[in-house]
Amino acid sequence: MWNAVMDQMLRRLIVTGGLGVTWPDGSHRSYGPGDGPHANVTLKDDGIIRELALRPVLALGEGYMDGRIEVPPQELYDFVALLVRNQAQGRMPAWFNIAHALRGWLRGVAQRNNPLRSARNVQHHYDISDDLYRLFLDEDMQYSCAYFADPKMSLEDAQRAKKAHIARKLHIERGMRVLDIGCGWGGMALTLARDFGARVTGVTLSENQLATAQKRAEAAGLADRVEFRLLDYRKIGERFDRIVSVGMLEHVGYPHLREYFSKVNDLLEDDGISLIHTIGHVSPPGATSSWIDKYIFPGGYIPNLSEVSAAVERSGLWCTDVEILRGHYGPTLNHWRQRFEAALPKVREMYDERFVRMWRFYLVACEATFEETRQGVFHLQLAHKQYAVPTTRDYLYQDRHGHMLHAAQ
């Protein structure tokens, strides 16, 4: 029965490209017109067919992790990208679309991230091991979208360009107090202190990130200008000249978007500027992937532009600029994925094969999502006053002497 159900699902789903499926009994069938990308997959047992038919998103990731779905590592991206591209055509079964919509409607209940739950969610992902992240991130451990001003940039150069782009939007002057919400391993905070003379307070809920960031500040001789705290942003009481947050809004959860931007409003000085860098959809609101929520980012939610805009509108802040970065996170993830694969001998010394397959699937699925769907990165520049920043974007593309910047710089 389930073989027939799955066969009909695939015949309906694959409307572009081609998918070759080897079934548990050894038989092989092809799906799709074959006019685009092509991939092959082997289903190892009848049980995974039933699970794929009932809960395709969760079962796909779990089946690959457990080895019940076999795709050669070098072909996994093509396989996932093919599925993501075809799913975007809206050809999933009606019951799946209804269930997905229901999960979206219930996101306000499922993502109530109080401080205790937020800390647990962050620790689930970030406190596994700094050594793992060092294997595939750039030397500054930037775990967010890079900025490829030139597509030929190295990952290190693109991450430096990202930090410089954000710093220009913050319009920082020497001696200003800056708050970094979700400071990660401290790279942005250290850059703003070292290169711009800021005094930075960084907050995180990850004990691993806190310890590493503090060690880096000491080693760089910046401990007198950078302070890192293990603290929920909602508990901060001071006000700051500048506020930056890179890759943290995705952890806030849909019910807390208004609370987040209201807190930014409260913490920002009257003449202050804030820059929020977050993954976002330019498509209608939806639900977080059930696999991502269970295994990678529990409690996470990627908002769409209308949800973010509504929260900002109610905060009392001016939205002085919105930039949508397209075509930057896919290449960033590709760099991470290639580095992860190159470091597999070291990864396998640290983790079992199921973890390796989970992390590979995570990087592949995220890259495919950025390349095949309407998902990008939002830069929200916020202030209390409309003239807190220049009235054109010219200043973003000039150096401190007023000379125009070029990609090579």
Which percentage of the chain shows pLDDT scores above 90? 78
Beta carbons of 338 and 363 less than 8 angstroms apart: no
Q: What is the mean pLDDT of the chain?
A: 91
Q: Are strands 240-246 and 268-281 parallel, antiparallel or unpaired?
A: parallel
H or E element, residue 289: none
pLDDT greater at residue 79 or residue 397:
79
In tens, the pLDDT along 264-307 reads 999 999 999 999 999 999 988 877 888 999 999 888 899 999 99
Residues 6+ apart with CB under 8 A from 34: 17, 18
pLDDT at residue 319 in the model? 97
Integer Cα distance of 248 and 344 in angstroms: 28
pLDDT at residue 406 in the model? 54
Integer Cα distance of 186 and 208 in angstroms: 11
pLDDT greater at residue 403 or residue 55:
55
In tens, the pLDDT along 13-40 reads 999 999 999 999 999 999 999 888 899 9
Residue of 145, 183, 319, 366 with catalytic role: 366
Rg (CA), the chain: 22
pLDDT at residue 409 in the model? 47
pLDDT band at 128 (very low <50, low <70, confident <90, very high): confident
Q: Mean pLDDT throughout 162-191?
A: 97
pTM for the full predicted model: 0.92
pLDDT band at 232 (very low <50, low <70, confident <90, very high): very high
Nearest to 22 by CA among 44, 48, 7: 44
How distant, in Å, are the alpha carbons of 6, 67, 320 from that of 387?
Answer: 58, 57, 9
HEC string for 308-334: HHHHHHCCCCEEEEEEEECCCHHHHHH
In tens, the pLDDT along 65-120 reads 999 999 999 999 999 999 999 987 766 665 555 455 545 544 555 556 667 667 67
pLDDT of 220 above 60: yes
pLDDT at residue 271 in the model? 97
In tens, the pLDDT along 346-382 reads 999 999 999 999 999 999 999 999 999 999 999 999 9
In tens, the pLDDT along 307-329 reads 999 999 999 999 999 999 999 99
What is the spatial order of strands in the sheet that 28-31 belongs to? 28-31, 18-22, 38-43, 69-70
Beta carbons of 328 and 148 less than 8 angstroms apart: yes
pLDDT of 60 above 70: yes
The yes-or-no answer on residue 145 being catalytic is no
Chain-centre distance for alpha carbon 228:
22
pLDDT of 143 above 70: yes
